[in-house]
Structure 1
Amino acid sequence: MDGEVLRRLDRLESIDAIRQLAAKYSLALDMRDADAWVGLFPEDVKVGGGAVGRAALRDWFDETMRVQFTGTSHHIGGHIIEFDDPDRAQGVVYSKNEHETGDEWVIMQMMYVDRYERIAGRWFFRRRLPLYWYATDLNKPPIGPQKIRWPDRERYDGGFHDYFPSWQAFWTRTGPDDAPVAEPAPLDRFIATMRGDAAAPKVKVR
């Protein structure tokens, strides 16, 4: 089997393994299997506040899932994966989520902006940036600004549209775009082409 065929086969297997990461993340999270969940991240995962490692991430998981939510269900949508090299990739995946929190049922629409890394033949999440469009009680549609509306918390914006500059550009224009139509994005550069040189937004995590 020649090198090009092997390279393409490796790419297909990698795409499937990365897509499985997103599905495994949701299942482990919803079933509250902290060990399975943290195992999707590398041993040196950065947790925040200077903490590093799976044990620290598991502590964060336990506290967050125990205090804020009674139950959750995460539904994976479209998943775009692009490779920087054979062992590093990036992606964007949609997620529609439901949360039982106290005596309210909160629905959420969001996307994850991911970095993936293959270590010793296995793919892991290197980083997940959650971007939220809305979160609200099932019976209270989040019309207007600050669509993140958790019970008994201040409302805020979740950065859902901030990662891609096209949203602001669309609404800044008063009519159709009169610039020439751009050429299709290069292979494995769809996300990068959409983003241009935009900086990653700072987002409050739930």
Structure 2
Amino acid sequence: MTEALLARVDRLESIEEIRFLVSKYSLSLDMRDVDAHVGLFAPDIRVSRDKVGRAHLKAWVDQTLRQQFSGTSHHLGGHVIEFTSPDRAHGVVYSKNEHEAGGDWVIMQMLYWDDYERIDGRWLFRRRLPCYWYATDLNKPPIGERKMRWPGREPYEGSWHALWPSWKDFWAQPPGAETAEVATPAPLEQFLATMRRGAPEPKIRVR
């Protein structure tokens, strides 16, 4: 088997493993297997400004789930994966979620901006950045602004559209306006960077 063919096979296997990684995240989180869940992250995952590692992540996940949610369900949608090297990749994946939060049933639409890294032969999360469109009571459609409407909290805007300059560009263009040219399609492995208009990868605010 040629070197080029081996690289292509490795890429296909990596894509499948990353897709399973995301599915395992949802299953382990929803079934409250916190050990299985944190094992999907890099051993030296950063949890806060001064805390690193799976043990700290486990403590944070355990506390968050016990304090906020009686139950959850994460339904995965489209997943775009691009590689920066054979052992590093990033991706965007849609997630439609349901939460039992005390006496409330909260539905949510979001996407994750992920960084993946292959460590000791396994693909793991290097980080996950959640970007929200809405969260609201099941019976209250989130029409209007500040669509993040968790019961007992002040509504706020999510970052669903903030990552993508095309959102503002589209609405800034007058209705019916026509452009003379169509942009060149994004190069291979550059679709997300092209949509981001060359901006650096978004950052997580470290608590």
Q: TM-score, normalised by structure 1?
A: 0.95
Any idea what SS the aligned residue of 1:46 has? coil
Residue 183 of structure 2 aligns with which residue?
Answer: 182
Q: Which runs of 5+ in 2 are unaligned?
A: none
Question: 1:200 deviation in Å?
Answer: 5.6
Residue 57 (structure 2) aligns with = 57
Instruction: Tell me which residue corresponds to 1:144.
Output: 144
SS in 2 for 1:163: coil
Give unmatched runs, 5+ long, in structure 1: none
* Aligned mates of 2:46, 2:136 — CA distance in 1: 29
CA contact (8 A) 2:193 2:199 kept: no
For residues 106 and 159 of structure 2, the distance between their equivalents in structure 1, rounded to whole angstroms, comes to: 18
Between stretches 138-147 and 190-199, larger displacement belongs to 190-199
SS class of match (2:9): helix
Query: Which amino acid is 2:151 matched to?
Result: P
Measure the CA separation in 1 of the matches of 2:122 and 2:166: 34
% identical aligned pairs: 63
User: Judging changes above 3 Å, is the alpha-carbon distance between structure 1 residues 51 and 179 closer, same or farther for their aligned structure 2 residues?
Assistant: farther
* Contact 1:132–1:160 (Cα < 8 Å) also in 2: yes
Displacement of 1:184: 1.0
Shift in alpha-carbon separation, 1:8–1:49, aligned structure 2, 3 A: same
- State how many pairs are aligned: 205
The match for 2:108 is 108
Residue 135 of structure 2 corresponds to: 135
2-side partners of 1:199 and 1:81: how far apart? 17
Instruction: Give structure 1 regions of 4+ aligned residues with deviation exceeding 4 angstroms.
Output: 199-205
Could you tell me whether the CA contact under 8 Å between 1:112 and 1:130 is conserved in 2? yes
5 Å matches for 1:1-206?
1-175=1-175, 176-198=177-199
Show CA shifts across 1:128-183 (max 9, x none): 11000000000000011110111101111110001110001101111335252011
Residues 163 and 199 in structure 1, CA contact (< 8 A), matched pair in contact too? no
Distance 2:203 2:14 in 1: 29
